[in-house]
Amino acid sequence: MTPSTNHADALDHVSRETLHGLELYCEELLRWNSKINLVARSTESGVWDRHVVDSMQVYDLMPTKAVRWVDLGAGAGLPGLIVAILAKELDPDLEVVLVESDKRKSAFLAHVVRLLNLSATICSNRIDMLSPQAADVISARALAPLPKLLEFSHRHAGSDCVCLFHKGANVQSEIDLAKADWQFTHKEYKSKTDPSGVILRIEGLTRAAAR
């Protein structure tokens, strides 16, 4: 299973071995999805473009010196497992932490990590119960509105942490709400797979001064 012609450029920096890992991930995702709800069944036919390529695009926004990537609410490993598959060849020192409280989804994550021999750790715990992670990068996809994501991220961010969040058409309203309690700089990158979506890159996260 490979990306459509529209997204073939996603493979420009990917070796045959890494492509094979991504294909194996797709196969296992579809196999497990028949038993547990990892992704919507309606998206199975477009799993590469809808999920894999969508997750690959955050990898290119990673800071060059990052060594610890924490994916919150990892679910099916999107984007965290995809990042780990890419990093195996391109950034072998990068450690990926997949935070997922659902035991069945955690079992899927652990299975893929073993199958592909990835440098990734699964934390089967609630985000708010997890010890601070000192992350260089924090990612989340379809997890929560931005104010809640920033609350989670503030606890687990290291110094100079960058947050990378998939967001939709209502991103500006989420930013406006978040600014009531948080100070940060941000940049929006147009999604390559969703015409109304963006990747929101956030830096310098601090709590806003009390009014």
Per-residue confidence (pLDDT) for residue 49, from 0 to 100: 85
Per-residue confidence (pLDDT) for residue 5, from 0 to 100: 41
Q: Are 54 and 194 spatial neighbours (Cβ–Cβ below 8 Å)?
A: yes
**CA dist., res. 5 & res. 7, Å (int):** 5
Q: Which of 49-69 are b and which e, b meaning 16 or more Cβ less than 10 Å from the residue's Cβ?
A: bbbbbbbbbbbeebeeebebb
- Identify the residue whose tokens are 């015409």: 195
Per-residue confidence (pLDDT) for residue 45, from 0 to 100: 83
Q: Which residues of the chain have pLDDT under 70?
A: 1-12, 210-211
**CA dist., res. 152 & res. 178, Å (int):** 13
